[in-house]
Structure 1
Amino acid sequence: MPIIAASAGTYDLALVLGNLLVIILIARLAAELAERVRVPAVLGEIVAGIIIGPSVLGWIDPITHLEIADMVLLLGEIGVILLLFQVGLEMDLGEMAKVGRPAFIVAIVGVVVPFATGFGVASAFGEEGKVALFIGAALTATSVGITARVLGDLRALALKESRIVLGAAVADDVLGLVILTVVVKVVTEGSIGAGVVLETIGLAIGFLLVTGLLSIYVIPKLFTRIDRLAKSSTTIVALAFGLTLAFSLLANQAKLAFIIGAFMAGLGVGRSTQHERIAEGLNPLGHIFIPVFFASIGINADLDAMFQPSVLALAGALTVVAIVGKLVAGLGLGRAGGDRLLVGIGMMPRGEVGLIFASIGLSKGVLDDELYGALLLMVLVTTMLTPPLIRWKLSRRVIDDASIPVAPWTSVDTSHLFDELLNTDADEWWRIIDRRRIEERVPAVGEAMSRHRAEPDFTDQGSNGHLHSLHELKRHLDEPALDQRLGRALDRIGLVDVVALACFIDSIVDDGRAAIEVARTMMPDSLDDVMHILSLSESMKDAVKGPDPTVPAELLSGDEYLVLSAWVLAALTAREHHRAALDEAISGLV
């Protein structure tokens, strides 16, 4: 069965392309404006959809033009698939296990209480059982991205409460997706009998188990093998997208929510050694299609229906129980200690997952325009409230870390820092950096990270995306067999602190003067060596980009340690098709 069909005689391609142009440009502009006033970009994209949709300007009218409705639906669904793939890609179930029992209890409470109270409120407003189930399900999930972005901006990721919130949000999303799967199946079957529910839960668990086993044991090895055989570095990116579509199709064929397939594909790809390259390749695609989905939320909103007194009353009641349900989740800390209110606030935003729930409810015919509008208002309010509330709560903490004087940074601190980073999982790095307060103690690093946090795609790059060079160094130190020439070069270098600092600077500092300041503060005795490695590495990479991809002999004639160190940095960060020339240049040394 085709996903989208159109008659050649009635399908107006110019109209579709023109409308797509408007959606993408206006959504991007609105997202930029939203982030400038410290509002989540997703809200800007939704508001853009409302403005250009039939409720306000009418520039995009899917009601009159069915081909526009088809286009928005199709591209929006691709956007949702990419979004859930990204969520799975960046999710680390091992990280959730590290925060352990408190995070799991917070997640359970944060799902059960909103689900039960949402169901109760919907029933009290006279909605039938299936509709009430869907509304309850829409209140369960927490937006990992919004909370993580705010905590990162405030340099609070190292807090115990932050780790619990993010771990609980991971579990929350998994549980929420399972609940959504069950509810969608119940709704499409037209029955809420115990047999249907049990069958659906069993099918969902079975699907998760099968795809989970594939994600753990098959996909990473398969991707590594294919990547070695492939001639193009983009092959693995295309394969990852194909896998995502395949898992989504399997979930849909099993009468489960297709997004759970995309989520599981992301989990599997995230365990592969190519996951950063895949994210880098697919993120631009997400920047196109994901805003179309969020804009479609606004386009489909009926403002007249949303602002009816009965809808506002339901939206208000749902918002109250949505907030209270997540605040109560903070009690799940129990004896673990910590700021229960901060944890509860961190669990509040429904964000993108809540919007997906509402969108699916509308597409399945479970929600009418009024109920859809009520859920949309609830998601908007909880998402808008969370960032300022987190900022307020952190500013009111009894112990203000910023008021505690910090010791000047020394080369001993640098040695300890890289010893810890290179012997710790990369997902822990920013917590280590926050705990050591490097952004305060090395101001040039703080300024560089402030610029990075202002970038729209900051969270797209994952927990260690802005330390790519250092992450690659750790990967090859941990597994020398990945690249035998690199392994031999690292053996010849021996102590890698200087190389590690060069990788650190290369990852986050864009300005030459700032790089000098970082090197002077963190390793003053090796300032000249670090800067020479950085400069020589760039010269090597520039040399192999030209029409004659060879490294001039004069670049290789200096101190062997510095030449090898510069080559290592170049090899770690160069594009794959430049590696052959770099390898040939160094063949006499390693």
Structure 2
Amino acid sequence: MSLFGLAVVLAVGLAGPLLAAPARARVPVAVGEVLAGVVIGRTGFGWVRPEEPVLSFLATVGFALIMLVAGSHVPLRHPALRSGLRRGAGLAGLAGILAVPAGFGVAYLTGTGHGELYAVLMASSSAALVMPAIDESGLRSTPVVATIVQVALADTVCIVAVPLVMDPGRAGTAALGALAVLAAGAAGFLGVRWLRARGLLARVQRISIVRGFGLELRSQLILLFVLGGLAQAVGISVMLAGFVSGLALAAEGEPRRLARQLFAVTDGFLGPVFFVWLGASLDLRPLAVEPKLLGLAGLLAAGAVLVHAAAVLARQPLALAVLASAQLGVPIAAVTIGTREHLLTPGESGAVLAAALISVMVTGLAARAAQRRQARTEGESPR
């Protein structure tokens, strides 16, 4: 791949920010980048070959970084996690239980045989989408606390579950590989804690800031790539390596300087490369000729919303219940693994991603509905 080709990939990726710019649209940047990739990839003009080694490698690094950022958004240090743990865990458990028959029902109706995967997709959520939506909308209440916990738990569990359910024949091997990555990530986290407790980390950070060495970013990337290399060595996706690195960062507390550096590398370069590559890898043409695949996308999206909406039975406000159904990281992980390993049927990857995009739009509406409900409630409170 030439530098000119890389420039083309980054240029078409600007479709993401352009579509996300209107405040009312609330379209995630990643959606526009994936759509741009669809236009120039297998579905569209074929200008980009996703199997090209350099582009594929850059996309892998971008995928790991995106999952790192997603993991760092899990609010492990948020005070709400402890206070709302029981209720949030109950809501996540309810969605998980209901997702099992729903997932197998969709697999039966569409004849794909991927019931386990569909169940995980429907039960999943996205802290990277929900947390910013809650912050931007100024939502605050006991049910909101429960939603935060629910989303954090669902995001973490489903990310770990995706590689296990996608290839049940290798579930045992994948589980052992996942445990190895988790253990290595825990060891890295404990090592950082040890350095911080002895003041060594603070000293290194001061030197890095004064001298402009960028040591925090370098250290974080080294840990990420060590875990990613381990993941590849044991035969699992770098997705888990990235997410574990992000969880370790969230548990320790992400310094603002490192957050800005990760944002620059991920959102400014490798993230767009990954999402354009992902869109270019998809062949959405079967969706136009196979009503079954369109039905699959609709059923997955509707199933995710309904499974989470059932939280109203536990007296959770409907808007917040639907907000928790936001999906992005888990479906993208499933599509990426399925595309690389040829585990999904032709067109199925597009249907899974289309369902995720539908859920993003639905949850955008849910966030606004929750904001209006809170405004009405506060307006009706005694003066």
Settle same-fold status: TM greater than 0.5. Answer: yes
Structure-2 separation of matches of 1:300 and 1:115: 29
Q: Does 1:370 align with 2:353?
A: no
Q: Does 1:50 align with 2:38?
A: yes
Higher-Rg member (1/2): 1
CA deviation after TM superposition for structure 1 residue 133, in Å: 2.7
Query: Match of 2:110?
Result: 125
CA deviation after TM superposition for structure 1 residue 104, in Å: 0.7
Query: Match of 1:311?
Result: 293
Q: Greater CA deviation, 376-385 or 298-307?
A: 298-307
Q: Does 1:27 align with 2:1?
A: no
Asked whether the equivalents of residues 107 and 329 of structure 1 are also in contact (C-alpha less than 8 Å), the reply is no
- CA separation of 1:19 and 1:344: change in aligned 2, threshold 3 A: same
Asked whether the equivalents of residues 60 and 238 of structure 2 are also in contact (C-alpha less than 8 Å), the reply is no
What amino acid maps onto 2:9 in structure 1? I
CA deviation after TM superposition for structure 1 residue 330, in Å: 4.6
Structure-2 separation of matches of 1:274 and 1:384: 29
Structure-2 separation of matches of 1:349 and 1:84: 16
Asked whether the equivalents of residues 99 and 119 of structure 2 are also in contact (C-alpha less than 8 Å), the reply is yes
Asked whether the equivalents of residues 13 and 273 of structure 2 are also in contact (C-alpha less than 8 Å), the reply is yes
Structure-2 separation of matches of 1:28 and 1:361: 26
CA deviation after TM superposition for structure 1 residue 353, in Å: 2.6
Q: Does 1:298 align with 2:274?
A: no
SS at match of 1:400: helix
CA deviation after TM superposition for structure 1 residue 209, in Å: 5.0
Q: Does 1:261 align with 2:245?
A: no
Query: Match of 2:4?
Result: 18
1:347 aligned residue (324, 333, 337): 324
CA RMSD of the aligned region, Å? Answer: 2.7
User: After the TM superposition, which parts of structure 1 deviate over 6 Å for at least 4 consecutive aligned residues?
Assistant: 403-406
Asked whether the equivalents of residues 293 and 348 of structure 2 are also in contact (C-alpha less than 8 Å), the reply is yes
Query: Match of 2:27?
Result: 39
Query: Match of 2:128?
Result: 145
Structure-2 separation of matches of 1:313 and 1:229: 55
- CA separation of 1:274 and 1:394: change in aligned 2, threshold 3 A: closer
Post-superposition Cα deviations, 1:457-502, rounded to whole Å, max 9, x if no partner, equal xxxxxxxxxxxxxxxxxxxxxxxxxxxxxxxxxxxxxxxxxxxxxx
Q: Alignment identity in percent?
A: 21
- CA separation of 1:175 and 1:270: change in aligned 2, threshold 3 A: closer
Q: Does 1:113 align with 2:88?
A: no
Q: Give the alignment's TM-score, normalised by structure 2.
A: 0.86
Post-superposition Cα deviations, 1:344-378, rounded to whole Å, max 9, x if no partner, equal 21111112332122221121111133211211111
Structure-1 separation of matches of 2:176 and 2:311: 27
Asked whether the equivalents of residues 320 and 367 of structure 2 are also in contact (C-alpha less than 8 Å), the reply is no
Structure-1 separation of matches of 2:330 and 2:61: 15
- CA separation of 1:202 and 1:238: change in aligned 2, threshold 3 A: closer
- CA separation of 1:98 and 1:48: change in aligned 2, threshold 3 A: same
What amino acid maps onto 1:174 in structure 2? T
Q: Does 1:167 align with 2:142?
A: no
Query: Match of 2:215?
Result: 235
Asked whether the equivalents of residues 220 and 271 of structure 1 are also in contact (C-alpha less than 8 Å), the reply is no
CA deviation after TM superposition for structure 1 residue 320, in Å: 2.0
Q: Which runs of 5+ in 1 are unaligned?
A: 1-12, 190-195, 407-590
- CA separation of 1:149 and 1:252: change in aligned 2, threshold 3 A: same
- CA separation of 1:89 and 1:389: change in aligned 2, threshold 3 A: closer
Corresponding pairs, count: 370
- CA separation of 1:177 and 1:213: change in aligned 2, threshold 3 A: same
Structure-2 separation of matches of 1:23 and 1:222: 40
Q: What is the 5 A alignment of 1:323-362?
A: 323-331=305-313, 334=314, 337-339=315-317, 341-362=318-339
Q: Does 1:401 align with 2:378?
A: yes
Query: Match of 1:76?
Result: 59
SS at match of 2:263: helix
2:303 aligned residue (318, 321, 337): 321
Asked whether the equivalents of residues 329 and 344 of structure 1 are also in contact (C-alpha less than 8 Å), the reply is yes
Q: Give the alignment's TM-score, normalised by structure 1.
A: 0.57
Asked whether the equivalents of residues 40 and 384 of structure 1 are also in contact (C-alpha less than 8 Å), the reply is no
What amino acid maps onto 1:354 in structure 2? P
Asked whether the equivalents of residues 95 and 307 of structure 2 are also in contact (C-alpha less than 8 Å), the reply is yes
CA deviation after TM superposition for structure 1 residue 99, in Å: 1.3
What amino acid maps onto 2:345 in structure 1? D
Asked whether the equivalents of residues 138 and 358 of structure 1 are also in contact (C-alpha less than 8 Å), the reply is no
Structure-1 separation of matches of 2:255 and 2:230: 22
Query: Match of 1:428?
Result: none
Q: What is the 5 A alignment of 1:99-110?
A: 99-110=84-95
Structure-2 separation of matches of 1:403 and 1:163: 21
What amino acid maps onto 1:103 in structure 2? G
Asked whether the equivalents of residues 73 and 250 of structure 2 are also in contact (C-alpha less than 8 Å), the reply is yes
CA deviation after TM superposition for structure 1 residue 249, in Å: 2.1
Q: Which runs of 5+ in 2 are unaligned?
A: none
Asked whether the equivalents of residues 227 and 236 of structure 1 are also in contact (C-alpha less than 8 Å), the reply is no
Q: Does 1:219 align with 2:192?
A: yes
CA deviation after TM superposition for structure 1 residue 239, in Å: 1.0
What amino acid maps onto 1:252 in structure 2? Q
Asked whether the equivalents of residues 88 and 264 of structure 1 are also in contact (C-alpha less than 8 Å), the reply is yes
Asked whether the equivalents of residues 332 and 353 of structure 2 are also in contact (C-alpha less than 8 Å), the reply is yes
Higher relative contact order (CA 8 A, sep 6+): 2
Structure-1 separation of matches of 2:132 and 2:250: 20
CA deviation after TM superposition for structure 1 residue 382, in Å: 0.8
- CA separation of 1:18 and 1:269: change in aligned 2, threshold 3 A: same
